[in-house]
Amino acid sequence: QGGTEKIRGYVKDFKEADVPIAALWLQDWTGKRETDFGRRLQWNWEVSDKQYPGWYDLIRELAGEQIYVLSYINAYLANTGGLSGESTTLFKLATELDCLVKETDNKTVQIQASATPDFTFGTVDITNPRCQKWYIDEVIRKRMIGEKTTSFDEIHGVLGFMADFAESVSLGASFYAGEGSKVHNSFPEIWSNTCRRAINANGFTEENAVFFTRAAGGRSPGETTLMWMGDQMTTFDHFDGLRSALIGVLSAGVSGFSLAHSDVGGYTMFQRFGGLIAYLRSPELFLRWGEMNAFSDAMFRTHEGVLPDESSQAFDEDLRHPFAKLAKVHRALFPLKRELMIQAEQTGAPLARAMFLEFPDDPKAWAVNDQFLLGDSLLVCPVTEADAVSRSCYIPDGEWTHVFTGERPKSQSVFTCAAPLGKPCVLYRAAAEPYAAAVREILA
């Protein structure tokens, strides 16, 4: 985040640190808002010339280096500009088009608040086919993807986006499709369908663009292209931290979402009373999260969070090189993940698998939720506690070898697995030897 020149600086720094970059996720393309909750975005889906002068030049410049831009959108439109006076043109236009969700009187536009009372918005009524088409054609296609984007040589916009929210439908609201209580569970599906139709508008973007959602209904796996786990706290715990992200990915995997990921390092940060109460991202948490996601996730992506200046980031001088190594691990595993994606298309099996999916007859495999398999031959037991250099790992049936120590623990046993920072607890079966060797070399 941060604007045109800052992004160019990050790219330069990452290249010098040998970080492999496939894309940059620039969520603040519409401008930023400073709130009591932290630094957020202006929900008006047009380029902020103040934040990103020469936005399209930047996109084409990066595309020339085979680095593509992802951005951000949701189904909401801000009705105020915040302290920085950002634009609200789309809220005004949606009001004129009668495309905003109403109160129960079916006349007054419903205004809700996001996290803090000063950040208010209206919801686009995408249950109305006319309004959904407007949002697809005039907002997502025209203002984000670019109507002329037809090949890698003709990039005129972003090649993907976070499609945020969709879960907070007011039960008392009035939609084109009915009252909120009727629409609540289907709204995330309609939101994913809206985004899917936007990227399917031409063959190139249908094949190459991606969007990732966090809210879902029963039909969402057939609509979204990728799930992410939402806004975890910058903690290690299973309540809403690193471990909860893994539980989410594994739960998604048995709910029809074969491809999933989380923000490396988490998102939600908190600091009050002069730092007396603080939840900020430490370098250790950031790297431990990256160790997990390099194996578990379909996309390896981080987020600056709501208090970016107070928390560790991928571009910090002391983190660029270790981050580069983890990104290279993710890249080295791509051939395996591509095979698993083909399996997912055919069978629905996820990339990151809960233990019981591969070992359904093992009662102990059903009892663990803090380790996983990538396919059937890589076993990953991520460290989910601060200051740990090892952890207990359940070893299922088969012959497994520790990637770094060469130890071969007994099957169906609990193994104390060495995992100093930078060398995660990963074991493999013979079929995964080439990938184990690549991981060993990268993280040496």
- State the catalytic residues: 164, 167, 231
> How far is the C-alpha of 376 from the C-alpha of 394, rounded, in Å?
15
Q: 């691990």: which residue's tokens?
A: 329
> How far is the C-alpha of 109 from the C-alpha of 95, rounded, in Å?
8
> How far is the C-alpha of 387 from the C-alpha of 372, rounded, in Å?
21
DSSP for 166-210, please give it.
-----TT-EETTEEHHHHTTTHHHHHHHHHHHHHTTSHHHHHH-E
User: Which residues have a Cβ under 8 Å from the Cβ of 166 and sit 6 or more positions away?
Assistant: 74, 75, 187, 188, 191, 192, 213, 214, 215
DSSP for 12-73, please give it.
HHHHHTT---SEEE-GGGG-EEE-SS-EEE----S--TTTSTTHHHHHHHHHTTT-EEEEEE
DSSP for 424-435, please give it.
--EEE-GGGHHH
